[in-house]
Homo-oligomer: A and B are copies of this chain.
């Protein structure tokens, strides 16, 4: 496969936009990414469009990408719609990367778009269930939040994490989000405010949780070797974009209550190997913190540190904006907002801006102080039997 590069990115602000449809949101991100690249839109040969929920929420079940791309003024472009819950648009990036890598296309637009606010919030809740037979129709009502809460309680017991640690990481992300003009929430928040907000599912309080949002993010990719033809901006190479699905732990080999992060680790290990880097090389990361505390599990999964080391890490502010290894400089899902199908490419957009030195007030400095050169995005979507239905890891290099 040829090496593939990102030559442009674009995002809408994330938030509650009752007057905007998936067409409006998609169009804005698409054209921002085109202007960011400086490419003639006629040179874009294909589009991979990730969306998670539009069928149930908006009624736009079929050919979502075609409807959006046509609205945005396109014709004669190969369009493939992909879905993988919260990982939908990372899958769009991966499929686009494979097609460009294989030489099927030279330039591809990858789009993530989601519209979660509508007149009927039950639609949003219904759309978010993973195995509908069991969760919704069956009435078991095991939600994402409950799953995250259970995982975090296990971590408290095993690693000595406390609810305050969870509030510290949430406060870090709220602060980062306050510097991000694309974030849904741009207000910093104290550890006390977060701890004192209402309990959603112990140990998670309201301000630790990601929130539904409307939004879109787009990325334009091409063959690495011809990237200079399309843009004058720094070229970001996709070192790896790996995926795994429905990996289940070997229950017979475990003690009940054991923590098992293998499903999250698999694509991370594959990505490190493919990109030829290790945890020690990562200078900035976006971690899928659908609940802020889950970011801490991310540190373990990504090989940054051991679970027991995390209280000290937080104390030393290692993953804060000015720390050795900033995580979620965008604010993560709880501050930037979580428009399911757009989140994957929002992570990628943030990392591209960081790698280019274009992240403004939230710019991280990297090891050398001259800006980061290697970045990582970790993402996951859906739950089946308590494990992520999709698990992904992307590594980018300047």
Contacts and interface: CB of A to CB of B under 8 A. Distances in A.
Interface of A: 1, 21, 23, 52-53, 55-56, 58-64, 66-67, 69-70, 74-85, 91, 94-95, 98-99, 101-104, 126-133, 136-137, 243-248, 381-382, 384-385, 389-390
Contact of A66 (B52, B137, B384): B384
A82 B80 contact: yes
Contact of A63 (B55, B74, B77, B389): B389
B390 A79 contact: yes
A59 B95 CA distance: 26
A3 to B, nearest CB: 13
Contacts of A21: 133
B84 A245 contact: no
Nearest to A387: B75
Identify whether the interface residues of A are mostly helix, strand, loop, or mixed.
mixed
A69 B69 CA distance: 31
A77 B246 contact: yes
| This protein's copies in its complex | 2
B59 A83 contact: no
A83 to B, nearest CB: 4
A130 B78 CA distance: 17
Contacts of A129: 59, 61-62
Contacts of A62: 52-53, 83, 85, 127-130, 381-382, 389
Contact of A382 (B63, B248, B382): B63
29 contacts: A1-B104, A21-B133, A23-B133, A52-B61, A53-B62, A59-B137, A61-B126, A63-B85, A63-B130, A63-B382, A63-B390, A66-B84, A66-B245, A66-B390, A67-B130, A67-B389, A70-B131, A75-B246, A75-B247, A76-B245, A79-B84, A79-B246, A81-B83, A81-B84, A82-B83, A98-B98, A98-B102, A98-B104, A102-B102
